[in-house]
Amino acid sequence: MTKFEALGLQKSLLDAITDMGFETPSEVQEKAIPILLETETDLVALAQTGTGKTAAFGFPLIQKIDSNSRTTQGLILSPTRELCLQITKEIQAYSKYEKNINTVAIYGGASITDQSRQIKRGAQIIVATPGRMKDMISRRLVDISKIDYCILDEADEMLNMGFFEDIKDILSNTPDEKSTWLFSATMPKEVSIIAKKFMHSPQEITVGTKNAGTSTVQHEYYVVGGRDRYPALKRLADTNPDIFSVIFCRTKRDTQKVAEKLIEDGYNAGALHGDLSQNQRDLVMNSFRKKQIQMLVATDVAARGIDVDDITHVINYQLPDEIETYTHRSGRTGRAGKSGISMVIVTRSELRKIKSIERKIQQDFISKKIPTGMEICEIQLYHLANKIKDTKINEDVETYLPAINDVLQGIDREELIKKIVSVEFTRFFNYYNKSKDLNTTDSRDRGGDRDYSNRGDAPSSGSVRYFINVGEKDGYDWMSLKDFIRDTVGLGQDDLFKVDVKDSFSFFNTDATATDKILATFNDFKVDGRFVNVEVSKNPGGGGGRRDRKRSGGAGSGRDRNRSGKDKGRRGDRSFAKSENSGKRRSNRRKSDFF
């Protein structure tokens, strides 16, 4: 028994299948055919193009048609004339061993008289575009009042093309007790509306990725503290020496700042956003196309015009507000049959957004760790070795060789290699040596959506109120301040409460278990060159627990752990403090900051 036979298909169809050279059913066929053959049910099937949807509904439809009756029993709606003709041809090929099954195509741009004549001869199956179908219904050239099966093929496309009203009209001319089978590559709102409105508890099958998220794209996320976004971005770039990427920020200002910092730090970067003149944008895009720019930092709107195929990485420096936007971003890579990676830098409080995106794109993210400094050194080292190996020798060097040989005289091969490699390696080594781990524990790894990491396993020891020396005049309201502190420290969504913003200072509360972390974070911490200072407050206003706790212990030891000693010589330190600007401004942003 062939696999097609096992699905319950009849002999005449199996013969046609053999003729067509189909050997094994595709996934959507395997899932849909038995359901449609065995039951009278409505069905929603989500599968990408090219997965064999036509046969998935075509085989069962043919098998269920009563060929002794000339009544129109099946209607297939499809968005375009081309698809309409293609489906008709496929159905005709599948049904070539059926006696008396007639399939007729109805579409615009061809003679309506010819089409109606074909229908009069008896068409059990009609394949139609919505526009022409509606037209023919209103002229009473077709009768679909007795159909048993209505198939909406490429439903998302049809709705995209504005056929919603036409489809509604057409369906109102069909009997209630028919079965409706909806096939679609994606499931946007409009499709679910159709499904809800016109279908009765449809069975649902999904094949591979449900939504447009290109399957050749791997999605990764990296959890870091809010103020580690920039150093994390640099590490991601350093881990991928041949990166050719678009980096997405939420605002024009962040876009500009991140690009500037990358350039300052020696990367081939450029900014693309709406505050640039057309001329400037053209220049940036030209350099990007020529790969003189390896990291293009862009706003969502500006990136719409990017028509470059071989982008290796999309990096979400910040997640977009709309999940839909994420799909557009990640779709910039993995084009033209190439694979690509979409990376997201997130803070723990944003992890639930990752979940929503996963649901939307029907693809799981891989939780990844920002590589440690030493891992990056290793990668760079091998990259360098390979680069040396692959370098085409420039023969013009010949002239200088005697002199060079003189200089390098007495150094053996092994030592020479060490020295050559050290030229590059030392740069990275000095930068990354003793750099800290940027990863924040991913609470999802521990199976929970909730962020407990600040609480440890210890029971809550009451809440602590803090004083922070920023307030309204720094542009904060309680929501933006809460965001800022939460992202900066790496706290969970609900870990901060009772945020009171005054004119030039503010108060907030957390669980006592977060105190050390907060004080350590805001130790020696600058925004726009100004120290942002947090102290445990004596102000009783916040209520609860150890509100009178003094800063002494935590702060003192925090100061001893001062980062400047530990990370001495880090290139990133400067940008580190500066990267806070973007954090803060993000909180202050106005509508006009967006493109």
CA 442/CA 440 separation, integer angstroms: 6
DSSP state of 294: S
Task: Pick the closest to residue 35 from 176, 175, 203, 244 (CA basis).
Answer: 203
Q: Are strands 125-128 and 340-346 parallel, antiparallel or unpaired?
A: unpaired
235 binds, among Mg ion, ligand ADP, none (CB under 5 to 8 A by kind): none
Sequence-ordered list of residues with C-beta below 8 angstroms from that of 456, at least 6 positions apart, any chain = 513
CA 573/CA 569 separation, integer angstroms: 8
Please count the other Cβ atoms lying within 10 Å of the Cβ belonging to residue 277.
8
Half-sphere exposure of 409 (CA within 13 A, CB side): 5
Of 51 and 209, nearer to ligand ADP (C-beta) is 51
Calculate the alpha carbon distances from 252 to 207, 262, 319, 384 in Å: 38, 15, 14, 35
268 binds, among Mg ion, ligand ADP, none (CB under 5 to 8 A by kind): none
55 binds, among ligand ADP, Mg ion, none (CB under 5 to 8 A by kind): ligand ADP
463 binds ligand ADP (CB under 6 A): no
Of 28 and 276, nearer to Mg ion (C-beta) is 28
Q: Where are the alpha helices (DSSP H) in 265-412?
A: 278-289, 300-303, 323-330, 351-361, 373-390, 401-408
Judged by CB under 5 A, the number of residues near Mg ion is 1
Write the interaction track for ligand ADP spanning residues 120-139; mark x where CB under 6 A is met and - where it is not: --------------------
52 binds, among ligand ADP, Mg ion, none (CB under 5 to 8 A by kind): ligand ADP
Token pair for 162:
């504005």
Q: Which residues pair with 180 in a beta bridge?
A: 150
Q: Which residues pair with 530 in a beta bridge?
A: 527
Of 183 and 428, nearer to ligand ADP (C-beta) is 183
Please count the other Cβ atoms lying within 10 Å of the Cβ belonging to residue 283.
14
Single residue of 2, 26, 80, 312 touching ligand ADP by CB under 6 A: 26
Of 45 and 259, nearer to Mg ion (C-beta) is 45
151 binds Mg ion (CB under 5 A): no
From the list 45-53, 115-123, 416-424, 426-434, the region that binds Mg ion by CB under 5 A is 45-53
25 binds ligand ADP (CB under 6 A): yes
Single residue of 32, 36, 53, 181 touching Mg ion by CB under 5 A: 53
**Residue nearest to Mg ion according to CB distances in the complex:** 53
Write the interaction track for ligand ADP spanning residues 51-90; mark x where CB under 6 A is met and - where it is not: xxxxx-----------------------------------
Of 3 and 197, nearer to ligand ADP (C-beta) is 3
Single residue of 1, 11, 50, 398 touching ligand ADP by CB under 6 A: 50
Min dist CB 52 to ligand ADP, Å, is 3
Q: Which residues pair with 298 in a beta bridge?
A: 248, 272
Question: 36: helix, coil or strand?
Answer: helix
Binding site for ligand ADP (CB under 6 A): 22, 25-26, 29, 47, 49-55
